[in-house]
Structure formats: C-alpha cells, structure tokens
Structure 1
C-alpha cells in the first residue's frame, strides 16, 4: 500500500471553515478511498479537529504543539532582520520548522512514504528537513500573494521541492518568474451536484437571494463592496435579499464585521441584508440562492465559486481579480465587472432583472464545472505522484 503524507501548518486553526482546510480534508479522503494509506498531519491546540468530516481510514495526526514559543534569541534576531530589512528566512520560522520535523519523524518512523504534499510554505521547510522525495508544494492563492513575497533564502527552500502545483493555467508562467523547480497546473476538485436540484428549489420561491460566502475580510474578500453596490439597488428591488456567510478569524476582522453592519444600517438595509455567520450546509444554502456574489480582489481557485458552478449558480466577479476572471467567463458562465462599486451594481442588476439570463449562465457554469470534477482532478494528482516517483 502506498503511503501519502500530507503536511499543513501555518494556519490560525484547523477547524477554520475555509478553502485550504477543505482541500486538505478532501485530498486525504479521496486518496484514502483510492486505497492509499494517508497520513495527514497538522499542528493546533490539543483536541482541535478539522471542521470538515475526515474519512475514518485517514491517519489524522495533530502534533498538538499549539503555539510554539521560540527562544528569546530567535525573536531578537527576527526583529533585527525586520528592522534592517534583511531578506533572509525568518529565524523564528526556522526554529518552528525544526520542532515540527523532529515531531513528525517520531510519528512516521518505519513508514515508507510514497509522496509528500505540502499545503503552504511552512510545510515546505518542514518537508525539506525531512528529506523525503518526491515532495510537492501547493499554492492556494495567486502567485503575487504567496510566491512573489518570498525572500531569496525562502525561494531557495521553495526550489528544493520536486514540483509546485498552481491552481490556474495562467499561474504557471507567473510562478516560473520566481521558481526554478517544475510548475504543474492542477485545479481544485469540486463536487458534482445535479442541476435539477437547484431548479426545483428555486421554482417555488417569490423572494430572490444573492449569496456571498467567505471569511469577512476587507483586503481580499471585500464584502463591503457588495453591500455598497447593493445599496444602489435595494430600493428598486425590494424582493431581493443578500445573505453573507462567514466570520473573521481575529479582532481585526471582527472590526470589519462592525464596518459591514454600519453600511447595512447606514443605507437602511436591515430587512434585506443578513450576516449569517458560519454554516456547514453551504451547498444547501447555494441551492436556495439565485446569484453568487464574488467581490474578491483575488483568489487562487475559489472552492465557493467552484461549488456554485457545480449547481448551476451564476456568479458576479471582477474582471481584474486573478482566478475569478478565469473561472467566470463573462456573459457565458457569469458576469465580470470593472473594479468600481457602480460597475459591480450594474453586474448584479443585469442578472437580477433577467431570470432567463440567470438560468442560461447557470446552465453554462454547470457544464464548465465538469472540467473540475473530483475524479478528473484526483486522477491528475495520482498521475503526478506516479511520474515524479518514477523519475
């Protein structure tokens, strides 16, 4: 039996309701069901488990080291490097990686690992210390966000990977500007849901819903733009509502929630706009909606957008948003808008006032989603493992 090692560190908490955490669980489950022995390792507080359901055959290991406190000397060095802008690897992160690697070696001793998959940069450093090959790193966002900012020393670590996986075809050339290792395009896998399911739920409703799903965050997710755009339409379309699902991870994002509430109150949209918090029934909520609002400034491969496509839900996004502007084909599977509030409102209204167009674009989105079916995507991963292992 082939053993696949998945490494995921450097997140707030493993129980976050977010895309990378979902892919971590989905990949573990998929390869366990394909007959692999899957060891999925993460680090969080003792007792913390993923929000998403993990197959009972997966060997899920929480290193349970919680927040690691490095020696004061490492912290002093980090601050010196930061003040003088030395572009080298953070000594605190090096210390943490050494601690992770030592603990992992204890967990996997006597195991012959077939391939290692790293879910973010911290895992890359750990995998390099373990020395197991082949090892593949994932990039769960656009290149400008996760690869471009790496220092020269960090890029040296990244280039020790056997390969880097990116989520969009255009990301391959972008990544090659910074990395010398092999770059492979494999999208995220999305589940297939029948289009009839959505049609049935929509047909009996009088009200209409724009749904927006993602952590509450100003820089990337930009829910404030959705609210400001809808404020231009709310009075004209009293039968339309906006449901926003998601929470922030920290106090800064809690403050952003208050900002969103302020916008809702300012434009007297309390009866039409709702902050719904977290749900474990994303697809069910999508099936009750008419439009997906995707006001993100950038994405890697949005699982939310992929799920929406899989049920035939048309989306409205920005033409300059990486990944979003490739997954949405303008006027074919959804609407792409210029980066202004007025233009985003116009994009929403184009679908709000035209039931036939919503259905047409939704049907096209559903057909396009087949390219990202779980079977196709996991086959690509399995073929990659095989090819790299045989090199």
Structure 2
C-alpha cells in the first residue's frame, strides 16, 4: 500500500507532539513494508526531529513564486532586554503595516486566506495526482483543507486529531475567524475516516463528517519495573514538563500554589522542564515570591523519562489538552499526578483518587498537593496504579489499531468501487 502522510507546515525542525505522532504513524506503516511518504509544504530547510525508519521518505513540496500572499506573524516580547524589546517592537510595526496594506489590496483578510488556501491546494493537487497514494493521512484539519480545497480526491483520507475535534473547526479556543471555521468544518465532508483520542471526543465531531470514527490513542513508552520512580530521603522533587505557555499550560498556578506550601516544606523543590515565551514572566513570579531556592527552571530536556524517574510528584495544571504526552509518560514512569478536572485529555487519563487527583480549583489543587507531599505511601500507591493504567497505550497496541483502521478504509473503498 502507498501511504501519504500530510503535515502541511511545522514538521521540519520541530519537536512537538504532532510531529512525534506523525513520525510514529509513518514508522508503523513502514515496518509493515508499506511505501510511506511524509509530505510538507513550508518555506524552510531542515530535517525531521524524531526518528524515522530508513524506508520513510520526507518531501517538502514548497515552491517559491506560486503567488501566495503571506500574512506576517508577530508577538509581544515579554523579556527585559531593551535591545530585544526594540527589535521586536520594530518587527511588530513592520508586520502590522504589511498586513494592513495586504488586506486593503485583497479587500479583507478573508480573501487573503482563501487566496492562499487556493494556491497551496492547487499545488497539493498536482503533487498528489502525480504520486497516486492509496491512502492519505492528514495530521490536522488545516492540512486537510489544503489538499481538498481545490478539488477533492477519490482517495480515502483519514485525519489524525491531536486534540479535541472541536478545537480544530470551531472558535472554542478563541481567535479563529468565521470564514476559516467554515472551511475547516467543510473539510470534514471529504474524510473517509477520522482518528480521535478518546471515545468521548466523538461527540465533538461536526455534522458534516460522514465517515468512520475510530478511537486510537497516542502511544505511551512503557517503563520496566526497575525504572519506576523511587522515593528518596532528603530533597523531594515536584516536576512539570511542558512548553512554558501560561495561557494553556498555566505554570503560573503551580508557582502561586507553591508560594503557600514552600515555607512549610523546605525539603521540597519544583522543577520546570521546557522553554517558551513566558519563561521570563514565570522567573519574575518566582523572584517576587522569594522562592528561587526551591523553584528551578531546568530548560529543555531530551531525556524526559530520566527527569521523571528522579521526581516524586508530577503536576500538570493545563487548561486544555488533547492527549498530553508528558502526563502519560509521567504516569507510565510510576509518578502520582495532579491536574484540573475541567481540562480535556487530563480528565480522561487521571482516575481521581486511583492514579492521581483531579481537582476543581486552585484551593483543591493545593490541598491535594500537600496531601501527596506528606504521605509517601499515598504517592507510591497512586504511582503504581498510574503505571499499570498506561499499559493499554503500549506502542504495539496503538500500531495494531492504525494498521487495522487503514485496512478497513481501503477495503471499504474497494467495496464501493465494486
């Protein structure tokens, strides 16, 4: 079988969760001797970050001069370096002026968006009609829009959803214009199948989807019995691994909570692993709270499991998630965990009172964290249960589910043609 996996942007040089799962899916089919290609369309030079089987091809179909009208991105610099502040200030002004003139020329942002989608979609159409895959896997609905907007294909398409489905096609998370949402929802009409992470996520699919919905979770690395976290005498560590992006990950809440607990537990430390745009602001919070001896920012780690094995508790205060890989890796390591009950994904993975705690608010978070810090036996019991609960997400089980789903979709197409 010839399988094409499409991640339209942000695949090369990027080490996020979607990129990791993209490579996992590609490797799954490659190990079954299928012909697998990952295709992207981005104006960068680089390589995939995650391991790929030798027989997986990666193709960047980007071609300059096709007529795209790019909208320039910008962000507000939050650091304290005056030179960097001025640099980003000027870049922001330039981007705003560029975008203003572009929207005026094209008669609005909707026309710019539709023009760019149309240009890229036509380019994808030429590529796909030449490569002739038997199955297409899209890693986002934005990828799906790009390959189907110009002209639909008679090829089965399955979309891999790495969040809750309505995060993709609605404005539930904010800042998504109506015209983009309409295109995203319409893209579901062209799907033969969709992979969702949990059974409950099926209820968030749009009415425009008429294909087969299949629950396939993300794979979780399984740890040996010897790899489980061990309680230590002396210092104890509360760990968090994730992008330092507080509007989603809410690391500031951990600092606020530990500000109350730190003086009571001088032998405990909080270790943040990761980088992100809110690093400087979080460091300022720690300094204002006079917690620099107990809260430490460790930067990016390429050995998250080693980090987790050295910890005693894993905290995960996110506002929303799809299938949080860091949380599952911590649980598979045997760490007790705490998260908010309102957070999607987190409330599917943590079984309250069995593998960790789900809390309603910050006060309950503080209460449960204190309880864990005081009771080693509780930490051990919750961690053991968490490790066992992650066995259902072993790579072998998830690989088998993807293989079965691909065969189901291609067999269905054969029957329809017959």
Which TM class, normalised by the smaller chain length? 0.7 to 0.9
Does the alignment pair 1:29 with 2:19?
no
Counterpart-to-counterpart distance in 2, 1:145 and 1:154:
11
Q: Which is greater in Rg? A: 2
Counterpart-to-counterpart distance in 2, 1:38 and 1:278:
31
Secondary structure of 1:61's match?
Answer: strand
Aligned 8 A contact 1:166 1:187 in 2? yes
Please give the per-residue CA displacement for 1:39-86, whole angstroms capped at 9, x wherever unaligned: 11223444312222222221122335599872489855876255xxx9
How big is the shift at 1:343? Answer: 2.2
Structure 2 unmatched ranges of 5 or more: 71-100, 172-179, 413-418
2:308 to 286, 298, 321: 286
Secondary structure of 2:134's match?
Answer: strand
Aligned 8 A contact 1:89 1:153 in 2? no
TM-score under structure 1 length normalisation: 0.87
Structure 1 unmatched ranges of 5 or more: none
1:352 to 373, 387, 390: 373
Give the 3 Å change call, closer, same or farther, for CA 321–177 of structure 1 in structure 2.
farther
TM-score under structure 2 length normalisation: 0.81
Secondary structure of 1:52's match?
Answer: coil
Instruction: Give the structure 2 partner of residue 175 of structure 1.
Output: 205
Secondary structure of 1:48's match?
Answer: coil
Secondary structure of 1:136's match?
Answer: strand
Instruction: Give the structure 1 partner of residue 164 of structure 2.
Output: 142
How big is the shift at 1:354? Answer: 1.2
Mapping for residues 17-56 of structure 1, pairs under 5 Å:
17-56=15-54
How big is the shift at 1:145? Answer: 1.9
Does the alignment pair 1:3 with 2:2?
yes
Does the alignment pair 1:193 with 2:215?
no
Aligned residues: 372
Counterpart-to-counterpart distance in 2, 1:76 and 1:195:
62
Counterpart-to-counterpart distance in 1, 2:66 and 2:306:
39
Give the 3 Å change call, closer, same or farther, for CA 384–76 of structure 1 in structure 2.
farther
Please give the per-residue CA displacement for 1:16-52, whole angstroms capped at 9, x wherever unaligned: 3321111111222222223222111223444312222
Please give the per-residue CA displacement for 1:331-377, whole angstroms capped at 9, x wherever unaligned: 1011111132x222222222111111111111111111111111111
Counterpart-to-counterpart distance in 2, 1:79 and 1:345:
52
Aligned 8 A contact 2:43 2:62 in 1? yes
Give the 3 Å change call, closer, same or farther, for CA 203–218 of structure 1 in structure 2.
closer
Instruction: Give the structure 2 partner of residue 92 of structure 1.
Output: 116
Aligned 8 A contact 1:41 1:60 in 2? yes
Counterpart-to-counterpart distance in 1, 2:401 and 2:23:
18
Instruction: Give the structure 2 partner of residue 116 of structure 1.
Output: 136
